[in-house]
Amino acid sequence: MFDIGWSELLLIGIVALIVVGPKDLPGMFRTLGRFTAKARAMGREFSRAMEEAADDSGLKDAADDLRALKGLTSKKSLGLDALETAADRFERWEPGAAKRPAAGGAEAPVAVPDPEAPPPSAAAQPVPPQPASPQPASRPATREPGDQA
């Protein structure tokens, strides 16, 4: 606390011996020890009272809640780390790189459907084209000017 070394303590002891005298020096050190003990006890009591007041006011609960909220607002819990990764990949993306073969002469990977994905519905599947028939399509019936319906 006071950052006093052994040389300073020795100097204080010599000055106290000269000023107080050898007869009264032990009594003075005893009184100083009692004073120091009382000061430490008062400091401990003050700290204990402050901790009790903090517990009664719910300050620790509020601090714990704040720590929990801080954990919830991390980038990872919000999914922002995935967003940053995607943004980094987009910045490094080269549009022409997908058309060129990859290094080593291998072709670029082809997209493959996910085997765990549910199959598409029947309405979403394309209708296969029907072969053309050799007969011409029939014309719709037309009415003659004299016919009655």
Residue 55: per-residue pLDDT? 81
Task: Measure Cα distances from 117 to 27, 84, 114, 122 in Å.
Answer: 89, 26, 5, 15
Residue 79: per-residue pLDDT? 73
Residue 39: per-residue pLDDT? 97
Q: Are 28 and 16 in contact (CB under 8 A)?
A: yes
Mean pLDDT per 10-residue section of the chain, whose length is 149 residues: 82 89 90 95 96 82 82 71 84 73 57 65 61 62 61
Enumerate long-range contacts of 99-106, CB under 8 Å, 24 or more apart.
none
Q: Are 102 and 108 in contact (CB under 8 A)?
A: yes
Residue 7: per-residue pLDDT? 92
- Looking up tokens 């052994």, which residue turns up? 6
Residue 49: per-residue pLDDT? 94
CA dist 13 and 33 (Å) reads 14
Residue 143's CB: how many other CB atoms inside 10 A?
A: 8
Annotated domain spans of the chain: 6-57, 62-91
Residue 16's CB: how many other CB atoms inside 10 A?
A: 15
